[in-house]
Structure 1
Amino acid sequence: MRIALLGYGKMGKIIERVAEERGHSIALKVDSKTTTLDFSQTDVAIDFSLPTTAVKNIKAALDHNIPVISGTTGWLSHYDDIVTYCKSKKGAFLYASNFSLGVNIFFEVNRVLASLIANYPDYELNIEEIHHTQKLDAPSGTAISLAEDIIKNSNYKNWTLDEADSNNIKIKAKRIVDVPGTHIINYNSDVDSIEIKHTAHNREGFALGAVIAAEWIADKKGVFNMKDVLNIG
């Protein structure tokens, strides 16, 4: 499989190594200096670019009938537009806030816990996420996904950043040097606490998940997510 890397920063370089270890080749590397996107020798695109360039890069790949895997966060106000664009092009697109196989299992545990505890209002909920200092967006896309899944399975209405509110989920975002990603869900009451936590030890898991998703989507049409790739639910 010939891969276009839309974004060639730290994640792009790790994806390159993981992809080559799995027998694939990198046909195109796109960074801030790239002016022309040539997809002629490409089978699939993996986007880990910037929020300001993700939409343009994704649409360019779809214009050339190239399936796109996107892990860029911070651009999701345009997500519905990309979905519509993908369908109009009869293309293939998959977005995930986190490609780690462990995190996607963690998502499922989070949904189940939220539904179980929804009828017990004595528990106060907060989400804490910790990432490296180079991460541009806060809260993380993963934390937002966790919050949105809780909202769908509970009485919470929305999420807020660093502000306590009985109707909304408080997300605490921390930035510490060289932390790949930690996400903690806390339910606290006067008598006990329930906590679930996922800790990434490095970025290899994110890269591997993205490459696996690219392998999966290569011959498909439509809009997908990691639940489709992992056949969860």
Structure 2
Amino acid sequence: MNIALLGYGRMGKSIEAIALKRKHTISLKISNANDEFDFTNTDVAIDFSIPTAAVSNIKKALDAGVPVISGTTGWLEQYHEVIDYCNAKNGTFLYASNFSLGVNIFFEINKKLSELMATVDGYSVKMEEIHHTKKLDAPSGTAITLAEQIIENTDYKKWTLDQPNSDEIHIDAKRIPEVPGTHEVTYNSEIDSISIKHTAHSRQGFALGAVVAAEWIKDKKGVYTMRDVLQINV
């Protein structure tokens, strides 16, 4: 499979290494918006760029008829615009706030736990996420996904980085050098605490998940998520 890398930073390089190890070819590397987007001989594009470039990158791939997956966060206020654009082009698009296979299992655990906690009184929830200092957005897209899952199943209305009201989930976003990504959800009561936590040890899990998603989405049409890739139907 021939893969275009839209964004050639640390994640792009990690994806390249995994893709080559899995016998794929890199057909295009885009480091900045001024590079030439030549999708000749490209089967799938993988976007791990920056928030200000993601939408343009995705649309260029769709214009070329190339399926595209994106792990860039910080641009989701335009998500529905991109979905509409993909459908209008009869294209193929997959977005994930986190491509790690372990994190996507963690999402399912978080959803189930929030459903259970919604049935009992006396607990409040808080979240913590830790990433490297070069991460541009806070909170992380993964943390937002976790918070939105909890909001969907409970009486919480929104998340906040500030001091929370009673109907808000506080996300403590920390930036520490060389931390690939840690996410923890904690429910506290006067009696006890319940926590679930995912700790990434390297970027390899994110890169592997992105390549697996690219392999899965090739030759498909439509809009997908990692739940489709992992065949999670619960």
- Give the alignment's TM-score, normalised by structure 2: 0.98
**Percent of pairs with identical residues:** 64
Equivalent residue, structure 1, for 2:100: 100
Equivalent residue, structure 1, for 2:219: 219
Distance in 2 between residues matched to 1:19 and 1:137, nearest whole Å:
26
Structure 2 gaps of 5+ residues are: none
Count of paired positions = 233
Is contact 2:33-2:53 (8 Å) kept?
Answer: no
- Give the alignment's TM-score, normalised by structure 1: 0.98
Distance in 2 between residues matched to 1:133 and 1:162, nearest whole Å:
20
Equivalent residue, structure 2, for 1:136: 136
Distance in 1 between residues matched to 2:180 and 2:27, nearest whole Å:
27
Distance in 1 between residues matched to 2:119 and 2:172, nearest whole Å:
24
Bigger CA drift: 41-50 or 26-35?
Answer: 26-35
Distance in 2 between residues matched to 1:33 and 1:220, nearest whole Å:
27
Kindly indicate whether residue 234 of structure 2 is the aligned counterpart of residue 231 of structure 1: no
Equivalent residue, structure 1, for 2:154: 154
Equivalent residue, structure 2, for 1:164: 164
Per the TM alignment, residue 162 of structure 1 is displaced from its structure 2 partner at its CA by 3.2
3-state secondary structure, aligned to 1:53? helix
When the two chains are superposed, the root-mean-square deviation of aligned CA atoms in Å is 0.8
* Structure 2 residue identity aligned to 1:225: T
Distance in 2 between residues matched to 1:56 and 1:163, nearest whole Å:
35
Per the TM alignment, residue 120 of structure 1 is displaced from its structure 2 partner at its CA by 2.0
* Structure 2 residue identity aligned to 1:7: G
* Structure 2 residue identity aligned to 1:21: K
Is contact 2:73-2:141 (8 Å) kept?
Answer: yes
- Deviations along 1:202-229, whole A, 9 cap, x unmatched? 0000000000000000010000000000
Equivalent residue, structure 2, for 1:17: 17
Per the TM alignment, residue 168 of structure 1 is displaced from its structure 2 partner at its CA by 1.0
Distance in 2 between residues matched to 1:31 and 1:58, nearest whole Å:
14
Distance in 1 between residues matched to 2:78 and 2:16, nearest whole Å:
27
Per the TM alignment, residue 33 of structure 1 is displaced from its structure 2 partner at its CA by 6.4
